Amino acid sequence: MKIAISGKGGVGKTTIMALLAGELKRQGRRVLVIDADPSPHMAETLGVKNAQEVKPIAEMNTLLTERAGKTQGSPFYNLNPEVNDLLQDFMLEQDGIRLMILGAVQTAEGGCACPENHVLRKMLKKMLLSADETVLLDMEAGVEHLGRGTVAGADCLLIVTIPSRSGIRTALKIKKMADDVGIPRVCFVGNLVQGQEDEKFLEQELGEQPLVCFPDSQAVRRAERAEQAILTIKEGLQEVPGQLVEKLFVTE
């Protein structure tokens, strides 16, 4: 199964993806995590050693330009770049979980870096379509990635929201676009929920019950502040990671 995750910035989507990865691994599933956020920090969240030294592929300008076949002064580039070797060369593994840090090409003043982004999209599509393990895709915040169709190939999109008006507005926009691009399954996930009042608010404003609701965990907050891995945390989570896996894989 290929599972993408999105939501408004700051709602905890990377945290939830790490907890999901840890639970999947605990249950014996092979897991590949792809960090495609413009400001990737999944490596730190998973506890990868020397995470700050890991360079996202999006920042490897020379490599991306070379693979795109782009020459200086020419508007043309290769529409079918070779990426198979990159999928292995830039894959990390930590405690049985594989990780690829794609990042996203950032340009000043809204400039275009189409060839370089094309290589990244080709790599992402290849992994989503060919990987034989459970793939977890951490996308950038908001709705831009859906407009570009970069989650094509995902079986499920988890939209994380907290019990706030702004979080819910973004979540509903993401769901509409996800439905428009034809993602087979789209589910809401609540986060930082402090009780039944928050749960009822989410259900009422979203128009449906979230698949699960993660509680506001002090243990997770402490680990994040200390830059410690959170994928094995259980304190205060009330078995929610396990419930999420069960509901995602209910048809298997």
Cβ atoms 35, 100 nearer than 8 A: yes
Question: Tokens 């419930």 label which residue?
Answer: 243
Shortest CA distance to 137 belongs to which of 8, 10, 13?
A: 13
pLDDT digits (tens, 9 = 90+) for 172-230: 999 998 888 888 999 999 999 999 999 999 999 999 999 999 999 999 989 888 878 88
Cβ atoms 124, 33 nearer than 8 A: no
Return d(Cα 229, Cα 19) in angstroms, integer.
10
Return d(Cα 251, Cα 245) in angstroms, integer.
11
pLDDT at 81: 64
Q: Which two tokens stand for residue 76?
A: 């043309």
Cβ atoms 221, 230 nearer than 8 A: no
pLDDT digits (tens, 9 = 90+) for 47-96: 887 767 677 777 776 777 776 766 555 554 555 666 666 666 677 887 78
If you average pLDDT over residues 23-38, what whole number do you get? 88
In CATH, which of 3.40.30.10, 3.40.50.720, 3.30.930.10, 3.40.50.300 is domain 2-53+92-106+132-248?
Answer: 3.40.50.300
pTM of the model: 0.83
Return d(Cα 178, Cα 157) in angstroms, integer.
8
Q: Quick one: CA torsion of 112, 113, 115, 120, rounded to 10 degrees? A: -130
Cβ atoms 81, 69 nearer than 8 A: yes
If you average pLDDT over residues 8-26, what whole number do you get? 92
pLDDT digits (tens, 9 = 90+) for 86-144: 666 677 887 788 888 877 655 433 444 566 666 777 777 777 766 678 989 888 776 66
